[in-house]
Structure 1
Amino acid sequence: MEGVRILLLYLAVPSLLFSVLQQILSWRKKGPKRAIPGPKQYPVIGRVHDLDRFSMWKKFKEWADMYGPIYRTSMLGQQFIIVSDETIAQELLVKRGHIYSGRPQIRALFNHKTGPGYVALMDRTDTWTKQRKWVHAAMADFHRAHFHGVIEEEVKRYLAVLMLDPAKFHANTREHCGRIMSRLAWDDASIGKENGDSADCTLTQMSVSGPIVNTMTPLWSIPWALNPWKKFERAREDKQRAWWLNSLKLAKQRYLSGNLPVETWSFRYLDNLYKGGNTTLEQSDKDEEFASCMLGFHNLVGVVTICGPMQFFLMAMTLNPEWQEKAQEEIDRVCGDRMPTTADSPNLPTVRACLKETLRWRSGVPLGVPHQAEKDDEYMGEKIAAGTIVLACEWSMNRVPEVYPDPENYHPERYLEPGWPTYQEPLSRYPNFREGKGMHTFGWGRRTCLGQHIVDDEMFVSGAAALWAFNLSKKRCPSTGEEIDFDSEATNAHVILEPLPFPMDINPRSDERAAQVLAGYAGVRDKLKV
């Protein structure tokens, strides 16, 4: 194994030497003293050596405390600007969104900047514009219809699964999110697990905690025959693209035979083709690739942006039983013996506050999604060169004490009680994930995530229903009876996080509630592909 590592390093030497040469040339270009501070940089490597790629956001927070709300750093020649202040992020990423809306190259992926496979990772090409416009309109249509009841139906199944197999709540939560998105995209919840696993594998490839080539980028230049990262990614992407394309072709057959449900994104896309005169739905290979990737990636993103936050919510309720009890009292008062639905959202502000505080306390995207300067700019009198990566670090922003007093601890009351900086009225509307004070989980400016409405609805119904049905608590040691503690910051370290599986007991709140859970599932089971 050691010999393989040495071989890989030698194969990467030409690229490393090129990086060294670039660095030496840059030293000769003496510039003015920088107005944007930052940690000391070392030749060639910058500060890559002391960044833990499994919790990089914590180092960025440490540097923010030392150097302020905006600072510079670099890694192997790549320049970074790290922002930990909402006002600065608004100035750069929103007001100057025409400059800072590019995406950096993720080394372990092929051609993602040009498309059509990953709309959230593309540069602002025509393909990106067309896909984003279609997804925005489709998401708005479905939100107005509260996603046609799909969320509530799948949540009834989710509750039954949690009750019957509580030990597997972590994997079952991911499958639950995969089922909802697979139904909305293709009307096929049976591929929910495959969808969730595919999403997780894609996230691994996207993340600095994934393939080493995402940080040691010269290794990507190793010849194909000796390059395990290229071989793996080629096989992974080919499999995923084939799945998406096959799903589109099956949807076409179902549309033409009249049995593709109206409440699917694939029906919406194909119906537009049909009404536009393409009554056979025949398309070129390029157009089919465009459509299948648009629907497929839209489907995938809806899994990864919800399953981790939902798992963190279960954790937050387990660790904060006083807030679990307050939320349950509110649910019982409003809903009684029926499971909460999206229609109950205005009347359950405590539930919404617990959900929103979960994403502040344990951010699902702690680094933020990177933006890249598309041309030279100037800020604070200092040049920011084209190609510089700008990170609005969520972990740091969510811990600014002037905005979030006592930031390390879980305080849903910050959204419910006057006097807290993030309090807003009316409580029938605030707090929510989409708007208002506090957090920017969905990104900034022209790269804002288009899925925030489904996150709001799905997180609300899934979270409220779990509290309606169950008591969540720490597991106890069978020998001593003592509660088993766990690390609430232990995660998979992807760009969008899931917590690692943690010990938790899930028990029905009563025998009557257990019967209601089973009856609710029985009432929808015939509609679901189980």
Structure 2
Amino acid sequence: MEGLRIIIFYLAVPSLLFSAIGQILSWRKRALAPKKVFPGPTQFPVVGRVHDINRHGFWKDLKRWADQYGPVYRTSMMGQEFIVISDIKIAEEILVKRGHIYSGRAQVRALYDHKSGPAYLALMDRHDTWMRQRKWVHAAMADFHRQHFFGAIERETKRFLAVLLMDPAKFHSYIREHSGRIMGRLAWDDATQGNYSGYSADRTLDQMSISGPMVNVLEPLWKIPHALNPWRKYEREREDTQRAWWLNCYKVAKKRYLQGDLPETTWCHRYFSGLQKQGNVELVEELKDEIFASCMLGFQNLVGVITICGPMQFFFMAMELNPEWQKKAQEEIDRVCGDRMPTTADSPNLPTVRACLKEALRWRSGTPLGVPHQCEEDNMWRGELVKKGTIILAVEWNINRVPEMYPDPENYHPERYLEKSWPTYMEPLSRYPNFREGVGMHTFGFGRRTCLGQHIVDDEMFVTGAAVLWGFNLYRKKCPLTGELIEFDTEATNAHVILETKPFPCGFEPRSAKRAEQIMAQFVDVQGELRF
């Protein structure tokens, strides 16, 4: 192993030297370029500012620099230029009003060819494949939301409450499985893929993150020949495995569709019926077309897991740590729903629940860095030349902590959405707050790169969160030896580009013996509709 490390090091040295020479040769050109007007941390030759970055909490470094240099500043890492934004209006100015220039995607070095597609819609550059997939997903998501996803979220939530009742200690992993089961049902009518969806999503996120493979920070290492490159070998195996899984799910769903056995309440059914309307009655496709569709549906499944399970974990944490708000939400649920589990139809009448959910996502951002945009052509902005390839980071963690918009930002305040004295208040409360529109939608990105999944996030977060509060009291656990409350780090996460919490202690107790009976009874009622 030591010998292999030495070989890898010496293979990487030439790449690093070439990068250094390129940097030196570019200094002359930079001296002739327009002077930069944006401030930023001190840069060092070749590496820029990478030596003191915490790869497992990068957003906190960006917040520290924002406090020092202001809401827009520059930095660089290994030759890659960044503009970092910590103000919503500035972010909208460049990413929305100038979206025709600033809607590219940065290269994630540890992934193969993601900018060209077709595997990861959210990571592609803007081209025909991206446009075709985005148009289809947008229409499919809107169509399903009009039907509130055909009750799939409610049915799976009844199962989730039952497994939580039977084994509450595993709540952390159950949340991921729950999100995966919902997406598996909607994509292919196969909820059994739930656990694997979570596993596959976790592997993918690790590859995408600064905290993941070293090549995402030291890009020259990626140029080491494949036979001696552990990062290339791992990624080839991971992506091939993922694509084969997606393609198999697609082919199984196609066979079921042709046999008349695939429900209309799936995205696959919608896709296949569209092909038939175009004249392809037997659904005969070339492999490249099957790969296109299976990746589009597979990624939709994957992103529906990773964008929901982390925020739901943070919501449970917030309820545990803020029992007064838990009680207020439960009183509202009891008043509106009584002995039945809440559904999407109850949303207009449960503003306190929605406020608690919305504030959890602000308090602990699921995507603290935001998703990077890349400048697609040289242009002047605010008196400074922004070069093609520059990455724009609208840092969600920072935007959520602007005190003028979010007073007392470090603390959990659902009332900021319920009381007129707060800047984020919106009327009517039968509509706001939510995850579809209104304040705080920067969580879902900007302009042409806005996430297409707001509607499913809105429905799934609401139904799951309200149902858990209907069924359980969440409480802080105590040490069995000392009787003291167990302390834990509320910011401890996996450090991926989309976060999940590290496992944390949280107790779940049914609110009454009768409620426990109701949880099990409603689970029995839907068992026949669940695919295990």
TM-score grouping bracket, smaller chain normalisation:
over 0.9
User: 1:398·1:439 contact (CA, 8 Å) conserved in 2?
Assistant: no
Residue number in structure 1 paired with 2:46: 44
Q: 1:74 aligns with which of 76, 97, 100?
A: 76
CA distance in 2, matches of 1:499, 1:2: 34
CA distance in 1, matches of 2:228, 2:315: 43
Deviation beyond 6 Å, 4+ runs, structure 1? none
CA distance in 2, matches of 1:3, 1:321: 56
Q: 1:86 aligns with which of 85, 88, 99?
A: 88
CA distance in 2, matches of 1:287, 1:391: 34
* 1:203 maps onto 2:213 in alignment: no
Residue number in structure 2 paired with 1:169: 171
Q: Secondary structure at the match of 2:509?
A: strand
CA distance in 1, matches of 2:319, 2:426: 23
Alignment of 1:44-443 (within 5 A): 44-443=46-445
User: 1:84·1:393 contact (CA, 8 Å) conserved in 2?
Assistant: yes
User: 1:367·1:495 contact (CA, 8 Å) conserved in 2?
Assistant: yes
The aligned amino acid for 1:78 is Q
CA distance in 2, matches of 1:160, 1:5: 49
User: 1:36·1:380 contact (CA, 8 Å) conserved in 2?
Assistant: no
Residue number in structure 1 paired with 2:463: 461
Q: With the length of structure 2 as denominator, give the TM-score of the two structures.
A: 0.99
Residue number in structure 2 paired with 1:24: 24
* 1:479 maps onto 2:481 in alignment: yes
User: 2:34·2:385 contact (CA, 8 Å) conserved in 1?
Assistant: no
The aligned amino acid for 1:126 is D
The aligned amino acid for 1:527 is E
The aligned amino acid for 1:115 is G
User: 1:158·1:176 contact (CA, 8 Å) conserved in 2?
Assistant: yes
User: 2:74·2:82 contact (CA, 8 Å) conserved in 1?
Assistant: yes
CA distance in 2, matches of 1:195, 1:55: 25
Deviation track 1:44-66 (CA, whole Å, cap 9, x = no partner) reads 11001111111000000000010
CA distance in 1, matches of 2:120, 2:442: 21
Deviation track 1:463-522 (CA, whole Å, cap 9, x = no partner) reads 000000001111111111111010000000000000000011111011011011001101
The aligned amino acid for 1:436 is G
CA distance in 2, matches of 1:180, 1:49: 42
User: 1:434·1:453 contact (CA, 8 Å) conserved in 2?
Assistant: yes
Contiguous gaps of at least 5 residues in structure 2: none
Q: Secondary structure at the match of 1:48?
A: coil
User: 1:312·1:499 contact (CA, 8 Å) conserved in 2?
Assistant: yes
CA distance in 2, matches of 1:423, 1:438: 11
Deviation track 1:114-151 (CA, whole Å, cap 9, x = no partner) reads 00001100000100000000000000000000000000
CA distance in 2, matches of 1:216, 1:525: 50
User: 2:205·2:498 contact (CA, 8 Å) conserved in 1?
Assistant: yes
CA distance in 2, matches of 1:231, 1:403: 46
Q: Secondary structure at the match of 1:471?
A: strand
Deviation track 1:49-107 (CA, whole Å, cap 9, x = no partner) reads 11111100000000001000000000000000000011110011001001011001101
CA distance in 1, matches of 2:468, 2:248: 35
Task: Kindly state the Cα deviation for residue 18 of structure 1 after the two structures are TM-superposed.
Answer: 1.4
The aligned amino acid for 1:440 is H
CA distance in 1, matches of 2:493, 2:352: 26
User: 1:73·1:81 contact (CA, 8 Å) conserved in 2?
Assistant: yes
User: Identity rate of aligned residues, in percent?
Assistant: 71
User: 1:101·1:124 contact (CA, 8 Å) conserved in 2?
Assistant: yes
Q: Secondary structure at the match of 1:440?
A: helix
Task: Kindly state the Cα deviation for residue 3 of structure 1 after the two structures are TM-superposed.
Answer: 4.7
Task: Kindly state the Cα deviation for residue 439 of structure 1 after the two structures are TM-superposed.
Answer: 4.5
Task: Kindly state the Cα deviation for residue 2 of structure 1 after the two structures are TM-superposed.
Answer: 5.0
Deviation track 1:409-457 (CA, whole Å, cap 9, x = no partner) reads 0000000001101001000010011211125111000000000100000
User: 1:472·1:507 contact (CA, 8 Å) conserved in 2?
Assistant: yes
CA distance in 2, matches of 1:8, 1:273: 49
Deviation track 1:273-300 (CA, whole Å, cap 9, x = no partner) reads 1122111101011111101001100111
Contiguous gaps of at least 5 residues in structure 1: none
* 1:15 maps onto 2:15 in alignment: yes
Task: Kindly state the Cα deviation for residue 7 of structure 1 after the two structures are TM-superposed.
Answer: 3.0
CA distance in 2, matches of 1:202, 1:393: 21
**Alignment root-mean-square deviation, CA:** 0.9
Task: Kindly state the Cα deviation for residue 383 of structure 1 after the two structures are TM-superposed.
Answer: 0.2
The aligned amino acid for 1:13 is V
CA distance in 1, matches of 2:292, 2:524: 39
The aligned amino acid for 1:88 is I
Q: Decide which moves more: 181-190 or 30-39.
A: 30-39
CA distance in 2, matches of 1:406, 1:473: 24
Q: Decide which moves more: 202-211 or 258-267.
A: 202-211
CA distance in 2, matches of 1:447, 1:319: 34
User: 1:35·1:381 contact (CA, 8 Å) conserved in 2?
Assistant: yes
User: 1:357·1:410 contact (CA, 8 Å) conserved in 2?
Assistant: yes
Q: Secondary structure at the match of 2:340?
A: coil
The aligned amino acid for 2:180 is G
Task: Kindly state the Cα deviation for residue 202 of structure 1 after the two structures are TM-superposed.
Answer: 0.8
Task: Kindly state the Cα deviation for residue 8 of structure 1 after the two structures are TM-superposed.
Answer: 2.1
User: 2:36·2:385 contact (CA, 8 Å) conserved in 1?
Assistant: no
Q: Decide which moves more: 26-35 or 463-472.
A: 26-35
* 1:527 maps onto 2:529 in alignment: yes
Q: Decide which moves more: 399-408 or 243-252.
A: 243-252
Q: With the length of structure 1 as denominator, give the TM-score of the two structures.
A: 0.99
Q: Secondary structure at the match of 1:400?
A: coil
Q: Decide which moves more: 243-252 or 430-439.
A: 430-439
CA distance in 2, matches of 1:7, 1:216: 16
User: 1:166·1:506 contact (CA, 8 Å) conserved in 2?
Assistant: yes
Aligned residues: 530
CA distance in 1, matches of 2:439, 2:269: 36
